[in-house]
Each structure stands twice: as C-alpha cells, then as structure tokens.
Amino acid sequence: MRMTGTGIGQGVATGPVARMPEPLATPADVPSTLGVEAEKTRTLESLGRVARALEERGAKAGGTARDVLEAQAMMAEDPTLADSIDDLLGQGKTAERAVSEAFAAFRDQLAAMGGYLGERAADLDDVAQRVIADLLGVPAPGVPERDEPFVLVARDLAPADTALLDLDKVLALVTSDGGPTSHTAILAREKSIVAVVGVLDALSLTDGETVVVDAAVGAVVSEPTEEEVTAARTRIAERAALVDAPATPGALADGTAIPLLANLGSSKAAKAAADGGAEGVGLFRTEFLFLDAGGSAPTIDEQRAHYIELLEAFPGKKVVVRLLDAGADKPLEFLNDAHEENPALGLRGLRALRVSEDILREQLTALAEADKVTSADLWVMAPMVSTVEETTYFVTLAKELGLKTVGVMVEVPSIALLADKVMAEADFASIGTNDLTQYTLAADRLLGSVAAFQDPWHPAVLRLVGEVGAAGARAGKPVGICGEAAADPLLAVVLVGLGATTLSMSPSALADVRASLSRYTLDEARRFADIALAASGAAEARAAVTAAVASRKEN
Ligand code: PEP
Ligand code: MG
C-alpha cells in the first residue's frame, strides 16, 4: 500500500517499522488523598526535575535542538502555568490531574493562535507527559530502543525526542500529524533525516513490518515488492555518493554560475552551513531572534551581536538578511496584537514594520553597524512588499541608514506583475515562493485542507517568477529564489530557466540541487521552463518537465 504525506528533503530509506509508544492516559479526576500541600511539593519538585532533564538533553544535543529544549524547560517552569496548577491543586485535585488540566488549557490557547505558535502546542503536550510520567514514577514516553536500525513511526515527534535521535539507528521518520513547519520537519531538515510528515494513515503501520520511505515524492510504501526495495537501495547508495562528493560552487553543465546559498534562522547554524558548502546566505530569517526575545524587540546591541556572529561566518561572501517578517504564520504581539480575520492578508511584514518604524529603524541600524565591522557582503531585503511605493520607501530608508545593497522579496503577485518598476527602484529581488504560491493560488500555506494548492510548480506561479526573472535581466540586477521551491532539484533547474540568478535553501538540500544543476545547460533549463509555463496545472507542469528530462536521457 502507498501512503502519501509531505516529504522533507530528497532522501529515501527502507527498513522495519518501530512505533512510538502511545501517550500516557489522561490522569483520572479523583480527589487527592495526600492533601494540598503534599501535592504542591510533589508538583514543584517534578516540574523542576523535568526542566533540568530537558536542559541537560539540550546541552548534550547543541544547535537548534538546544534552543528548542531550553524553551521547553522554560514552559515546565512557566509562572502562569504554575499559578493555574496551584489553583487546581487548591481544589483538591491530584498533582497528575492538575498538571494535565493546566497544560491542556494552555495548549488549547496556543493551538488557537495557529501558525508558528500553534505548532508549539505539541511541545507543551510533551512537557506535560514528561511531568506526569515523572510523578507516576514511570519512564517518559519516547523513542523506542532497538538493536537494529528502524523507521520511526509516530503521531508527531516532540523536540526532546528528535534532538537526541540516534542517527545510526533511525533510518527515517514518518508522522501522521505535523506539517512542513512542524518541529519534526524543521529538525529533520537540519539533521538531514529522511522524513515524510502528515501521513494520515501512518498509524496503521505495525511494528516490524518493512516499508520504503521516499521523501522526494512524499510517499511511504508498506509491503514493498522486492524490486521496490532494490530500487530504494540503489537510490540510497547514489545519494550517499552525492553527499560525500566535494562541495563545488553551484553551476550548470555549460559553466553558468548559479551560486547556492543557505536559508538560515539563527546565526548559530551559520558556520555549519558555510562548512557544508553554502556559498553565502540567501535568506536570514530574523523572526526567531525576535520571537526568542519574548514580549519586546531585542535591543540594537543584542541584534548587532547576533548579526556580527552571522556575518563573521561568511567573510567576503554574500549574506542577505530579511527584515522582521511578523504576522500571519509568525505572529509577534508587540508589532501587531489586533485581531484580524485574515492575518495573511493583514498588517504583516513591511506593512507592520512601517507602522512601528522605530523597530524597523533599529533593525536597519544594527545591521549597518554589524556590516561596518565585518567583511561579509551584506544585503538587506523587506518581506511582504506589495507596491512600488513600498519598495521606494524601504530602499530609501535603508540607504539613509547606511545599508549598501537593498532589495525586496517578491511574495505578492502585484509586485511580480510590476517587476520592471520594482527593479528600477531596488538593487535586487528575492522571490519567496512559499508566500507567492499562497497568494497566487489563494490557499493558506498552513491549512492542511488546501495543501494541494500550495505547489510552486503551478504555471501561474512560474509565470510570475518569469516576469521577475525577465525584468531582472533587463535591468541587469540579480533575482534570487529563497522559498522552498529552490530545494526541489528539478524545479530549481526550471527556476534558473525562468531567470533566477541564485538559489537559496535549507543547507541539507544543497547537495541534491548542486548535482541537478550540473546536469543541464542554460538552454535546456530555458526549454524546461517553457514546457512548465505551457502546462495547465502544477501536476501537469511537473509531469511534462519530468518527461522532457527522461526523453533527453534516452536520446
Ligand atoms: C517565502 O515566503 O517563500 C519565504 C522564503 O519566506 P517565509 O517562508 O519565511 O515566509
Ligand atoms: Mg514569506
């Protein structure tokens, strides 16, 4: 049987399934026999133990995992949660029950916020389970232990589990829940683990049965034939050879240089990306810096230190920093706390920054100061620009504050259609295909029920990319791609054919895209682009280009 979900990366794996144990049962609502004070002490000790254990795991794991686990440790000791647990204990409930109820209420609030914060609800569930297990004196639910490598199948993985996954044992991850921005997906990308998330039927897989997991097409095959297993093994060997190959600069078969850059969310990941062959940074998302700062914007000094750490990892190389993109899937209350019916169409990105121009000015100032003391080639760009007037506003302000190279993200169809006028004002454009697809197809990028529309192969999206590529060529200015589309090895070739001059992606995708580009000339890339543009839908475009590639191989 073939099940489908969202594949993360291009990997393939095959092996026996190991199912993640089901979560603990909800503690019964029976009155405490120990008394309020004894329950309070138990709870406090347990929360502390779990917080310390999470911190320890974080310290051991390092990287993004450490940040995530530290955030979870803070959840365990959150004062608002402690207050509501205390209230429940005061009503005579057991520690287990009070923890369960308080965390569940908090979780529901978080889930209702949707977007980035909504996806953190799973983190909170995990902390609650750990505390309850600790109170009960049973082991915390977690990754099963096996002697042989396995494909881990779970509802969703908590960061505490993904952080310490034994990569020699876990061949692949398959989850029934979770979207492309869930922690499982983010960490799988970072650690290059083969993963398919959001596979609705995943929990029908049983312990020990063999499966083939193909992230490139987002498929999980249960009871595979011998030929399917052999084909998977061949691809695994081919990919291993690819990853081990030296990281040369991105280029087409005819030598046309297409620099391959990294998408980063934290300066801590910068060095690893540089070591992994990234030729620079094509998108540095600054939201995480602001989300981590809690309820207010980080100071100029804090920001400058962070930007310096980033720029120092890429001496002499290009680093494109995106100004804060708050709103919709990345809500930040201090910028916009108004209730909006359609936040993706609301006061977000540059619109929100313009209303709080002091925050925009501070960020630009911190960037200009970091630029002065480092040797990287710093470019800055604004998110969610939708008019030429906004382009002029941003470019003028950023230059006034000392930035040299200033561009805009193309994420809204209006600005792609006016690309000539935009390119006259900006030094460069970078196309965010995630949002450009969302807005072109009018399909919320976070909503599972319309996920099928969120496909950057759609010719309507590609035509807009082509408009920007052509305008860039006419103006002699660079056009980058920094959405997930650039990480799809075949689509990357089409995007170059449409005029993209650089591609930026999760560092784990670089090797596959580098190999794919090296197979085709610029003329071929342009021919594939024409084929995709002529298709009537996303599936047709993908199929037509795949067929063109196959017939080229035969000839
Ligand atoms: C995009 O929209 O394609 C993009 C790169 O930005 P983000 O995914 O952060 O919205
Ligand atoms: Mg975007």
Number of CB atoms found within 10 A of residue 217's CB:
11
pLDDT of residue 106: 87
Per-residue pLDDT at 160: 67
pTM: 0.72
Q: Chain centroid to CA 59: how far?
A: 22
pLDDT of residue 553: 65
Q: Is the CB of 381 under 6 A from ligand 1?
A: no
Expressed in angstroms and rounded, the spacing between residue 434 Cα and the centre of ligand 1 is 5
- pLDDT value, residue 10: 81
240's enclosing H/E stretch is: helix 226-244
For the CA of 434, the closest atom of ligand 1 is 3
- Residues whose beta carbons lie less than 5 angstroms from ion ligand 2: 411, 432, 435
Catalytically active residues are 183, 482
Buried b (16+ CB within 10 A) or exposed e, 234-268: ebeeebeeeeeeeeeebebeeebebbbbbbbbbbb
* Atom in ligand 1 nearest the alpha carbon of residue 431: 3
Q: How far is the CA of 330 from the centre of ligand 1 (A)?
A: 11
CA-CA distance, 446 to 390, in Å (whole number)?
Answer: 26
Q: How far is CA 493 from CA 170, 334, 342, 489, in A?
A: 31, 40, 34, 7
Residue 159, pLDDT score: 67
Give the tokens for residue 233.
Answer: 């093994």
Is the distance from the beta carbon of residue 433 to the nearest atom of ligand 1 less than 6 Å?
A: yes
Nearest CA to ligand 1 atom 4: 432
* pLDDT at residue number 331: 73
> 285 CB under 6 A from ligand 1?
yes
Q: Nearest bound ligand to CA 285? A: 1
- Ligand 1 neighbour 283 (Cβ under 6 A): yes
Q: Which residues make Cβ contacts (< 8 Å) with residue 472, sequence separation at least 6?
A: 419, 423, 428, 429, 478, 479, 499, 501
Closest listed residue to residue 173, CA positions, set 160, 155, 147, 200: 155
Ligand 1 neighbour 180 (Cβ under 6 A)? no
SS3 state of residue 243: helix
* Positive/negative CA dihedral, 292, 293, 298, 303: negative
Beta bridge mates, 406: 380
Q: How many angstroms is it from 445 CA to the middle of ligand 2?
A: 10
Amino acid, single-letter form, for residue 458 = H
What does the pLDDT profile of the chain (555 residues) look like in tens digits? 899 988 887 889 999 999 988 778 899 999 999 999 999 999 999 999 999 998 988 888 777 778 888 888 998 998 988 999 999 999 999 999 999 999 999 888 878 877 667 777 878 888 999 999 999 988 777 788 778 999 999 988 876 677 667 888 899 999 998 766 566 776 777 777 899 988 999 999 999 999 999 998 889 999 999 999 999 999 999 888 877 778 899 999 999 999 999 999 888 888 889 888 999 999 999 988 887 776 678 999 999 999 999 999 999 999 999 999 988 777 777 777 788 889 899 999 999 999 999 999 999 999 999 999 999 999 999 999 999 999 999 999 999 999 999 999 999 999 999 999 999 999 999 999 999 999 999 988 877 677 778 889 999 999 999 999 999 999 999 999 998 899 989 999 999 999 999 999 988 889 889 999 999 999 999 999 999 999 999 989 999 998 999 887 666
Encoded tokens for 163: 């952080």
Structural domains of the chain ordered from first start:
2-21+143-230 (3.50.30.10), 36-136 (1.10.274.10), 250-554 (3.20.20.60)
Q: What is the pLDDT of residue 192?
A: 79
Query: How many A from CA of 432 to the centre of ligand 2?
Result: 5
Distance separating alpha carbons of residues 364 and 280, to the nearest angstrom = 20
* Residue 482 in contact with ligand 1 by CB distance below 6 A: yes
Give the integer Cα–Cα distance in Å for 56 and 66: 9
DSSP structure class, residue 479: E
Radius of gyration in angstroms for the set of CA atoms belonging to the chain, rounded to a whole number: 24
State which ligand 1 atom lies nearest to the alpha carbon of 483: 3
Q: What is the pLDDT, as a whole number, of residue 320?
A: 98
Q: How far apart are CA 11 and CA 16, in angstroms?
A: 17
Q: Which residues are annotated as a binding site for phosphoenolpyruvate?
A: 285, 322, 434-435, 445
- Residue 214 phi, psi (nearest 5): -120, 95
Contact 403, 369 (CB under 8 A): no
- What spacing in Å lies between the alpha carbon of 136 and ligand 1's midpoint? 43
Secondary structure string (H, E, C) spanning 38-102 = HHHHHHHHHHHHHHHHHHHHHHHHCHHHHHHHHHHHHHHCCHHHHHHHHHHHHCCECHHHHHHHH
